[in-house]
Chains A and B, each alone.
Chain A
């Protein structure tokens, strides 16, 4: 078998049994791999109505056929499960080195079932798989857990682990790998914690077979040329990382500030990518076989580590009114150590700050914690730590913005879609991006279909960000294309430079298939519809395809996007129609049949 390894590892933590199963190649090819194949397995094996934190939920780690191959950025893996945050399907994607190592050990993915009686970790060395006692690791932060496991099993092992946040069942907990990389969103770390599974250690000595090595060399060099010559992947991201967006998004007046109450931040320069590079950047921190190397490694005082990314700088920075970039780096560090999603953590603190400003959350709720005032650096750092350790109000923050605001009687202050925190772009001034937010199958998210690319960055062409025309169609194609790229095991950032034919070319060379670019995108559409069907069965209907009321009703008060609200009601019916769904946003039988679902 080429591209795919052909083996899936199944670990039942309740009965402490491990078995290896053959991969169904036809099924794998139909859903590509990763996000697609993992969702298909979840659909087949887990009742969508299951309590996400019960032993009946399953946690699926899945690579793509291009993971671990000599393709640009071929190093991604995904964690698929039912989300305890949104109640939808969760699929969180991570880079680093863990995913390729899993394939070198001889597996396309791992399905984890049941719940261990006491904390355990899984140790994989090729075909030797053990479930081991993790009592000495439980309670430890991510870097310490990783170091202990490296000391026990050798420096070259790759470790995916949860931090205290996952152990404490924080609904915004991440699965961390290679210390600073995160399968961050939708609370996948809490599912791992609910199974008493602390970590998965992997060491592999094999390799991924390739169908046509000469063809791969040829397609690889075409793709590399495009990546190097593209301004974003060849110059912008390598030089400044993602943080360079701070100034661009702020200059456009769509940089959410103080929990989306404003859309420009007057101190954006102080938290910008330019300032990060000048004051705090120590080195680049690239993932497996990545020619882009957007990853940053920063240092402030006695703290050093991966990040921060643009989204993180926004969440802890302008969204909390904080202009102290050193403080943002510290909050980011504690997210990585506690194993909590940076977007959700920062956005939840921002919501808490608005609850405090408006008097819903009072001084007595703070205990001895710092005041939740806009701009308070101590608050973002300390409350992130307490979120991880579920200490006092931190335990409530750890449930995410929606549940926090509901607990304090003001759910309308939660800037979430399907209970997941929105990221760093105000959709009132970027109409297509808002459609994408509202219809995302995992709730508030920018990487289900990155409409910022055409609407702000002008890639592949510049669209008027306020115009409604054509936006549902753009959102649909971006969503489908993204789903296919995720499933392949490549990084979404390659799509700034590469087109559908390029991905199909890599797939064909690696897997020996005869896919066209159109087939590749259609596989993405199949994945999108499968996710939608899972969500509908889980009771997440299209009434939840919406945006927070603030974004629909309250015009942006200042800046270049002043006066705009999001016009979702005009766009959503067109989107449903283009998707081949009925007026209630339910895929028609004909559409599902067309996609072979």
Chain B
């Protein structure tokens, strides 16, 4: 299964804007972090297909995961 991962702000350093993570049958956002060597505390916000999810949610083929470090403004 392949999952598209979109990275933002400082999480792009050394990784690029978008990567594909491929693993066995079933995996979660936590597995993606491990694969991309991103510590959990570096991620302040993340979205699965533009919606809130949990780190443990099992992803499905075609899902898009967006990862953000702490950012804000207004």
Q: Is the beta-carbon distance between B73 and A242 smaller than 8 angstroms?
A: yes
Let me know if A417 is at the binding interface, CB within 8 A: no
From B49, B51, B66, B71, give the contact of A236 (CB < 8 A): B71
Cβ of A269: which chain B residues have Cβ within 8 Å of it? 17
> Would you call B52 and A244 a contact (CB within 8 A)?
no
Are A231 and B44 interface neighbours, CB within 8 A? yes
Answer yes or no: A252 CB below 8 A from chain B CBs. Answer: yes
Q: Does B6 contact A (CB under 8 A)?
A: yes
Of residues 9 through 28 on chain B, the ones whose CB sits less than 8 Å from some CB of chain A are 9-10, 12, 17
Interface string of B33-74 (1 = CB under 8 A from A): 000000000001101011110000000000000101111111
Contact A251 B6 (CB under 8 A): yes
Residue interface mask A259-289, B partner, CB < 8 A = 1: 0000000000100011000000000000000
Q: Which of A245, A309, A464, A559 contacts B50 (CB 8 A)?
A: A559
Assembly CA distance A239 to B71 (angstroms): 9
CB pair A245 B47 closer than 8 Å: no
Describe A's contact surface by its main secondary structure: helix
Known: A232-B72, A236-B71. A274 touches B44 (CB 8 A): no
Chain A nearest Cβ from B57, distance in angstroms: 15
Contact among B6, B8, B12, B51 with A560 in the assembled complex (CB-CB below 8 Å): B51
Per the bound structure, the CA–CA distance linking A155 and B32 in Å amounts to 55
In the assembled complex, which residues on chain A have CB atoms less than 8 Å from the CB atom of B50?
A: 251-253, 559-561
Q: How far is the CA of A247 from the CA of B68 in the complex (A)?
A: 9
* B56 → chain A closest CB, angstroms: 16
Q: Are A236 and B74 in contact (CB under 8 A)?
A: no
- Interface size classification for chain A: 35 or more
Contact with B along A443-462 (1 / 0, CB 8 A): 00011001011001111001
Chain A residue at minimal CB-CB distance from B41: A231
Interface residues on B, range: 20 to 34
| Assembly CA distance A446 to B47 (angstroms) | 23
Tell me the bound Cα distance from A230 to B47 in angstroms: 21
What residue of chain A has the Cβ atom nearest to residue B47's Cβ? Answer: A251
Chain A residues whose C-beta falls within 8 Å of the C-beta of B12 in the assembled complex: 274
By a CB distance below 8 angstroms, the chain B residues around A493 are 73-74
Shortest distance between the CB of A219 and any CB in chain B (Å) = 23
Cα A450 to Cα B69 with chains together (Å)? 20
Contacts of B66 in A (CB 8 A): 251
Contact A245 B71 (CB under 8 A): yes
CB-CB < 8 A to A456: which residues of B? Answer: 45
Say yes or no: is A333 at the interface (Cβ < 8 Å to chain B). Answer: no
Q: Are B17 and A241 in contact (CB under 8 A)?
A: no
Chain A residues whose C-beta falls within 8 Å of the C-beta of B71 in the assembled complex: 231-232, 236-237, 240, 244-245, 248, 457
Asked if B9 and A446 sit within 8 Å, CB to CB, the answer is no
Kindly list the 9 A-B residue pairs having the minimum CB-CB distance in the complex, ordered from nearest.
A231-B70, A560-B50, A242-B73, A236-B71, A232-B72, A244-B71, A251-B66, A245-B73, A236-B70
Q: A232-B44, A236-B44, A243-B73 are in contact. List 5 more A-B contacts (CB 8 A).
A: A235-B10, A237-B73, A248-B45, A274-B9, A493-B73
Binding site for B on A (CB under 8 A): 230-233, 235-237, 239-245, 247-248, 251-253, 269, 273-274, 294, 309-311, 446-447, 450, 452-453, 456-459, 462, 464-465, 492-493, 496, 559-561
A-B contact pairs, 12 of them (CB 8 A): A231-B44, A236-B9, A236-B73, A237-B72, A237-B73, A239-B10, A242-B73, A247-B9, A447-B74, A464-B52, A493-B74, A560-B49
